[in-house]
Homo-oligomer: A and B are copies of this chain.
Amino acid sequence: MKKLSIIKIGGNVINNKNALASFVKDFAKVEGLKILVHGGGRKASEMSTQLGLEPKMINGRRVTNQANLEVVTMVYAGLLNKNIVAQLQQNNCNAIGLSGADANCIKAHKRVVKDIDYGFAGDIDHVDSKIIKAFLEVELTPVFCAITHDANGQLLNTNADTIASEVAGAMSNDFDVVLTYCFEKNGVLEDVNDNDSVVENINSETYIQLKNENIIAEGMLPKLENCFNALQKGVSKIVIGNPEVILENSNNYTTITL
């Protein structure tokens, strides 16, 4: 099977203009077939504040009412996605920006309300690997933003880590998929304040251990759940690290294995 690199960026890589420009240059150099998934960073919260809306988070996830959904649709699918695509084009990478609604790539449903009502948050039902493969076959590089749809006309705000893992899982039937989560840190850290304390490898057993010791907590928990989910769906390799990992210029990163 052909190798397919799926790279997700978030955090400061998105927030900082220079960091993003530098990442985009490196991503354009990644050889072979590739897909980019990007989060939203701070910009959506800034825009909400500018418009007089209060961003609301529960357990590290945004609560999305109608007004907030409009903002994330504008910022993720519009501003960020199209600027990233334009910068990739500048670097001779033939990118195509996609939400889950486009070409019906990613179908989701509005998250079922249990204790918390997350509003227009989407949980993914289906990734159309066939159409994504068709894009790759005409030498396009899909760039996914964190917006999906329910096929009933409703757009949904969807966690970008989850989009990356679900797309990676779905593409594993046809490709040898390497999934990389990029952010400003070197990897999963034993001490969140020490960028040299990278945990070299996490597997399902050490994961439980690290969780019990509270070394992995908060935002890192759903990210790792996504990793194990992707591995179970056949993803070959998962790396968490800083942007240098995508050109294999770093020896300091975390790999996730089953």
Contacts and interface: CB of A to CB of B under 8 A. Distances in A.
A82 B77 contact: yes
> Which of A76, A134, A153 is packed against the most chain B CB atoms within 10 Å?
A153
A85 B81 CA distance: 16
Interface string A55-93: 000000000000000100111111101110111011000
Interface stretch (A95-103, A181-189, A225-233): A95-103
A104 B94 contact: yes
A214 interface: no
Interface of A: 47, 50-51, 70, 73-79, 81-83, 85-87, 89-90, 94-99, 101-104, 131, 134, 138, 140, 147, 149, 151-155
Copies of this chain present: 2
Given A89-B151, A90-B152, A90-B153, A73 B77 contact: no
A242 to B, nearest CB: 23
A34 to B, nearest CB: 15
B155 A82 contact: yes
Contacts of A104: 89, 94
> Which of A83, A134, A154 is packed against the most chain B CB atoms within 10 Å?
A83
Nearest to A72: B78
A154 B152 CA distance: 34
Contact of A153 (B75, B87, B138, B154): B87
Contacts of A95: 101-103
Contact of A138 (B85, B97, B131): B131
B73 A78 contact: yes
A131 to B, nearest CB: 7
A240 B251 CA distance: 62
A25 to B, nearest CB: 11
A89 B101 contact: yes
